[in-house]
Amino acid sequence: MESIAVCGAGYVGLVTAACFARMGHHVCAYDSDATKIRALAGGELPFYEPGLDELVRRQVDAGRLRFSASPADALAGRDVVFITVGTPVDPTGDADLTYVRQAVRDIARYGGSGMLVVGKSTVPVETADVVARLLAREAPEKRFRVASNPEFLREGSAIDDFFHPDRIVVGSDDEFAKAALCDLYAPLNAPTLAVGTRAAETIKYAANAFLALKVSYANELANLCAAIGADVDVVLQGIAADRRIGAAYLQPGLGFGGSCLPKDLHALAHVARKHGVEPTLLEGALAVNARQPAAIVRRIEALLGELDGAPMAVLGLAFKPRTDDVRESPAIALAAALHARGARVSVQDPRAARTARRLLPEGVTTAATPYAACSGARCAVIATEWRQYQQLDWHRIRAAMQDDALIFDARNALDPGAVRAAGLRYAGVGRAMRQAVPA
């Protein structure tokens, strides 16, 4: 068993630390934010991820996982360190490596010679080279081994993704580091790709960008279907049946959000431009995504008429279900756009109401339940496809709303038949309408 340090107790860091501890390793997760470390030591997680609180508690109780605010304590005597600090991007898509550099300085100072230094944060291509150079400069007397090991965890299913990955990418230009990292992951029995560091760093961006391209394609297709009167569900079924295409990430809706897809798409486009390559497809995907909430608002207006003064419910604020993360959430953009049109917006989310509050415009109210949000509303928009919303009592929703109220399913997550059977009007994204839509 290895002795592992994880530098950065954020989302990726905590999942990585807890999962390696479950594999039997001794792990210390380090973060410079002492308040966060105190909360973690008290069993409090800074975000919601299904099953993670339980996993962390068990590993702490078993003595395999602990938290520290001291880099000396966390790094001394470890075999491996994973760097999982944040890498924010500026509006041009350029990644800010301040936290990575700080982590590397700590490692150079407190880590021992022979330590395997693994980058897991999503970083621009060539960052592993920067890390290696910085380590050599800061601690010329020590010999570190550097690798890049991008993660493909999805929020909401991160633990399962860790233990059952489609593939593991191990990137290093040092054969010993590659072998050591492959050994660490061997118990997972997953297909493992051992490549150079630049390829590993590019794979991470390229994978997220491709997922984003698929989502934007589905949304463009849905908008086209709405315009020509075809049903996007049927069209997508028709193309997904082709095994070369598949159905994954072709669910149309409000667009992609979160801390990864939008950021990584911007970053890859930036890298491309920097190297003189025109990122035409990437920019197209970003443009489609940026327009999608406004396109949905226009469709709602076409169905309801003037929105000024209209009471409306927005159900869902998180960027996707099973998380309280609202970063780049298109649901927030939608609520804000409706509010800007003069609608009286009431929002609800099973997990993200608290995290969303500071991002919502003043005047948008928060309801405790979906029924309360819908009370007196002319329209309810499903903005995040929480299972709770798929299981709503539509008769009760109808009784709460105005006569002839509209349910706009901005995630195509509902059964239109069940909604209509309760006497409500239903519309989805590119889904065929029963009644004619005014132009």
Residues at the contact surface with ligand UGA, assessed by CB under 6 A: 122, 151-155, 208, 211, 215, 249-251, 253, 256-258, 260-261, 319-320
Within 10 angstroms of residue 414's Cβ, the number of other Cβ atoms is: 19
Neighbouring C-beta atoms of residue 216, cutoff 10 Å = 27
Q: Partners of 346 in the beta sheet?
A: 313, 365
| Smallest gap from residue 253 Cβ to ligand UGA (A) | 5
**Distance in Å, CB of 233 to ligand UGA, minimum:** 13
Asked if residue 358 lies in contact with residue 291, where contact means CB atoms within 8 angstroms, the answer is no
Output the smallest distance, CB 234 to ligand UGA, in A. Answer: 16
What is the rounded CA–CA span in Å between residue 282 and residue 280?
6
- What is the DSSP-derived secondary structure letter of residue 68? E
Contacts of 353 (CB under 8 A, 6+ apart): 317, 347, 366
Q: For this structure, is 260 an active site residue?
A: yes
**Closest to ligand UGA by CB, 67 or 256:** 256
Q: Half-sphere exposure (CA, 13 Å, Cβ side) for 253?
A: 26
DSSP 76-115: TT-SEEEE-----B-TTS-B--HHHHHHHHHHHHHSPTT-
Closer of 59 and 251 to ligand UGA (Cβ)? 251
Which CB, 167 or 395, lies closer to ligand UGA? Answer: 167
Determine if residue 276 is left, alpha or beta; phi over 0 gives left, psi from -120 to 50 gives alpha, anything else beta. left
Minimum CB distance to ligand UGA smaller for 62 or for 241:
241
| Rounded (to 5) percent helix, strand, coil in the chain | 45, 15, 40
Beta carbon of residue 262, minimum distance to ligand UGA (angstroms, whole number): 9
Residues in the chain: 439
Q: Which of 19, 28, 225, 260 is catalytic?
A: 260
Question: 346 to each of 34, 183, 382, 412, how far by Cα in Å?
Answer: 36, 52, 12, 21
* Nearest residue to 52 (alpha-carbon basis) of 69, 29, 72: 29
Q: How far is the CB of 341 from ligand UGA (least distance, A)?
A: 23
CB 127 within 8 A of CB 96: no
For ligand UGA, the closer of residues 120 and 178 by Cβ is 120
Distance in Å, CB of 47 to ligand UGA, minimum: 12
Q: Which helix (H) or strand (E) covers residue 304, if one does?
A: helix 280-304
The nearer residue to ligand UGA, 122 or 172, going by C-beta atoms, is 122
Tell me which residues are annotated as active site: 260
